[in-house]
Amino acid sequence: MSAEVTAFLDHYLDTKGPAHSAVLINGPWGAGKTHFIKAYMERRREAAIKADPQNKRVHLYVSVNGVRSLQEVRDLFFAETNPLLNSATAKLVGTIALRAVNAATGGAALAADDARRFLGRDIADYALVFDDLERCAMPLQEMMGFINDFVEHEGMKVVILASEDDVQLGEQAEYRRRKEKLVGKSREVRAEPDIVYDAFVSAMQHRPAREAAVQGKAGVLTVFAASGVGNLRSLRSVLEDFDRL
């Protein structure tokens, strides 16, 4: 499944010219969407650097999980585009970081509200990744309208990650209406535990536990499949507990 999504994203992101719609990657919570897109985008970044060492970035990634305003989204993007800040910092300090930067620059940092002046002309070719759409704490129609500005008015390539089954009941009708305008193609990512298991094991701190997890991989994955849950977060949690114990 991920090979199909990879091939589709390659086509979408490599096609020259402005985008006319966004791409949606759908899948249930814990299906590995975030792991997939971060690994995919990192491979693209490495390839871009190899082709041109001056090309340090090809995408911007933000999770809108819990964000309550468009200003918070702008904070996260601003942190992504500035080496002295990062998304974790932006989440902790909120608008304080931007206020400090705006004060230092005489208010020039984020003086405008439109997409191009907000992000800067030098990153017009970047891909934008919006993760955890269904967990946004503000109305989805407002967030999707914000995302649509980048596609419709700026022609930027946008990838949205969401669990459509978890969109709030009261927002489903508006979500479908907005999606029809915003999203051109949807693809689904499902858990691939055989691949992700190795990544989880490699992150284990204690060698005996790590070796035992390697040897017991087949049995663990059999139990995981039999559970019928398919939530990779649960699998990672089990391995982390085993490592700790």
Q: How remote is the C-alpha of 77 from its chain's centroid?
A: 12
Helical pair 95-104 and 70-80, crossing angle rounded to 10 deg: 60
Per-residue pLDDT of the chain (245 residues; tens, 9 = 90+): 578 899 999 999 998 888 999 999 998 887 788 988 999 999 999 998 888 887 767 899 999 999 999 988 888 887 777 655 554 554 455 455 555 655 555 555 444 344 444 444 456 678 999 999 999 999 999 999 999 999 998 899 999 999 998 999 999 999 999 999 999 999 988 767 887 788 889 989 999 999 999 999 999 989 988 887 777 778 888 999 999 99
DSSP characters for 61-96? EEE-TT--SHHHHHHHHHHHT-TT--HHHHHHHTHH
Q: Cα angle at 33 between 30 and 39, to 5 degrees?
A: 125
Question: Comparing C-alpha atoms, which of 125, 149, 139, 173 is closest to residue 64?
Answer: 139
Would strands 22-26 and 183-188 be described as parallel, antiparallel, or unpaired? parallel
